[in-house]
Structure 1
Amino acid sequence: MDFKITRDLKNELLKRRELEFTLTFDGPTPSRKSIQEKLAALQNKDENLIVLDLERTRFGKMELFGRARIYDDEESKTSTEKAYLLKRGEPKAESEA
């Protein structure tokens, strides 16, 4: 996976950084969790403070266009973000079989 950040904006009012990025990859489309982990490692931030919003791939290309928001603290994240986006970023619960 190769990240290219196309836009990086600091939003002081909401205590977050807003990123737009292009991700090139080989093979199947990476999972949200793997994108979140890779972005956290590149930005030296906790992966729990990152919210992925929009991910689009183009047919036939190994490219993904996305947006992410990196919050300064957990409190700003929970007070600002929509509930469905927070739930989407959580790890799935293991079901007992």
Structure 2
Amino acid sequence: MNITKQRETPLLGRTRVTALVENEGPTPSRHTIQDSLAKELKVSRENIIIKHIFPRFGSQAVKVIAHIYKDPQKLKKLENEYLLKKHERPEEETPAQEEQAQAPAAEPVEEKATEEQPAEEAETQEQKGD
């Protein structure tokens, strides 16, 4: 990661950072870039919003424009709702949620077993009738 510009905006309580991020393969996700910026600038990732990601054609690099806020309250107040939704991270499932997810998956298996039983009974009745 190479930070090309860094501009302070004290009135808004943020810093606008422009960086060139080297990557291999597909364009990195917002979360990946957010983590690497947080590590590079030694700030909390909750205070970083990735405004734009510009992939460069034929190159393994992307240009990134990000806002780094000093206060998370200002971030929520100033940034658009759609950007905040893009930066939400999926919560890790707790063991109780995993059990609930597995329970409905087990029920259809039982239903299939009950559907197969009448077919088998019909076959046995046909054999008895013959």
TM-score if structure 1 supplies the norm length?
0.89
Deviation string, structure 1 residues 72-91 (Cα, Å, up to 9, x no partner): 01111111111111111111
Alignment length (residue pairs): 95
Opposite residue 34 of structure 1, the aligned amino acid is T
Root-mean-square deviation (Å): 1.7
3-state secondary structure, aligned to 1:7: strand
Structure 1 stretches of 4+ with a deviation exceeding 4 A read 93-97
3-state secondary structure, aligned to 2:58: coil
Q: Does 1:87 align with 2:85?
A: yes
Runs of 5+ unmatched residues, structure 1: none
Match of 2:41 in 1: 43
Match of 2:64 in 1: 66
Runs of 5+ unmatched residues, structure 2: 94-100, 106-130
Match of 1:13 in 2: 11
Structure with the bigger percentage of strand: 1
3-state secondary structure, aligned to 2:26: coil
3-state secondary structure, aligned to 1:26: coil
Cα distance in structure 1, aligned partners of 2:57 and 2:42: 32
Cα distance in structure 2, aligned partners of 1:16 and 1:80: 10
Opposite residue 5 of structure 2, the aligned amino acid is R
Percentage of identical aligned residues: 33
3-state secondary structure, aligned to 1:45: coil
Structure with the bigger percentage of helix: 2
Cα distance in structure 1, aligned partners of 2:86 and 2:21: 20
Cα distance in structure 1, aligned partners of 2:62 and 2:56: 7
Opposite residue 16 of structure 1, the aligned amino acid is R
Cα distance in structure 2, aligned partners of 1:82 and 1:32: 16
TM-score if structure 2 supplies the norm length?
0.67
Deviation of 1:34 (Å): 0.9
Deviation of 1:93 (Å): 5.3
Cα distance in structure 2, aligned partners of 1:43 and 1:94: 26
Deviation of 1:46 (Å): 0.4
